[in-house]
Amino acid sequence: MDTIDVENLLDVAVRVAGEAARLAVRMRAEGVGEVDTKSTETDVVTAADRAVETLVVSLLSEARPGDAVLAEESGASGTGSRVRWILDPIDGTVNYVYGLPQYAVSLAAEVDGEVVAGVVVNPVTGEQWSAAAGRGAYRGARRLRCSRVTQLSQTLVATGFGYDARRRAHQAKVLAGLLPRVRDVRRLGAASLDLCFAAEGRVDAYFEKGLSPWDWAAGALIAREAGLLVTGLAGRAPGDGLVVAAPPGVYQQLHDELVDLDAGGGP
């Protein structure tokens, strides 16, 4: 079987995500324009989400014709390829709409179903996080290591909420149980950036229920390569049930607390 050059995938991801980030910033400067809704009336999509996705898909098909793509706005395309790209053109669309500088382009490459390269770019700050499997995580040229926290009571935890009101009610209950046990909680509004922040210790840990693959594929690789454990609950793989990312020193404590609080349950 042919070997696939992971460094090449990462180079393509970095270049394409950079172009995508420039388009997102340019379109934001021109005004957000029409905002449509998706799964609920709070789940929004802008013309920029669609335009950035179209640009990325076309740049990928020039650079790597035949690869499959899974993208937030257009779904799955291409079959029979060992390489699949996973794209969130604008993660943190609500922040984008409000002009909050906390959104990202998130692009990951899978080979045979395993994420091997990922990049997350904050178009506003220009920060770029990247990782290739087994080769470490970086912000720009700086190698990243997760926090060394060992006590849950000292742990700053990022999280997020879904768009469905019933799911949010459950997530609020989980949060009410967790908040007295941790240093504090942050809800920044873009899952990919939450994971990158955990990778460099801007927060210690992160969890969220109900994410889609494009929200976490690149960020989870970056977090893992920075030393965090990234899993689901009770031996499950990370996924829409729950994604928890925590440094080894507090992973078990946070995991067990989330199990007790039924963070993976509810609608």
CB of 45 to ligand IPD, least distance (A): 8
Q: How far is the CB of 72 from ligand IPD (least distance, A)?
A: 6
The answer to whether 154 touches 183, Cβ cutoff 8 Å, is yes
State the nearest-atom distance from the C-beta of 73 to ligand IPD, in Å. Answer: 9
Q: Which is nearer to ligand IPD, 110 or 215 (CB)?
A: 215
For tokens 């909050």, the residue is 100
What DSSP state is assigned to residue 13? H
Residue 176's contacts (CB-CB under 8 Å, 6 or more residues apart) are: none
Query: 């995938």: which residue's tokens?
Result: 9
Which residues here bind ligand IPD, judged by CB under 6 A? Answer: 72, 88, 91-93, 160-162, 189-191, 208, 211, 215
Closest CA to 16 of 125, 101, 111, 120: 120
Residue nearest to ligand IPD (CB): 160
Nearer to ligand IPD, 91 or 204 (CB): 91
Nearer to ligand IPD, 64 or 156 (CB): 156
* 10 versus 242: smaller Cβ distance to ligand IPD: 242
Q: Write the Ramachandran bin of 221: left for phi over 0, alpha for psi from -120 to 50, otherwise beta.
A: alpha
- Residue 4 or 35 with smaller CB distance to ligand IPD: 35
> In what side-by-side order are the strands of the sheet with 68-71?
75-77, 68-71, 83-91, 104-111, 114-121, 128-132, 137-139, 142-143
User: In angstroms, what is the minimal distance from the CB of 231 to ligand IPD?
Assistant: 18
Token couple for 230: 């990234």
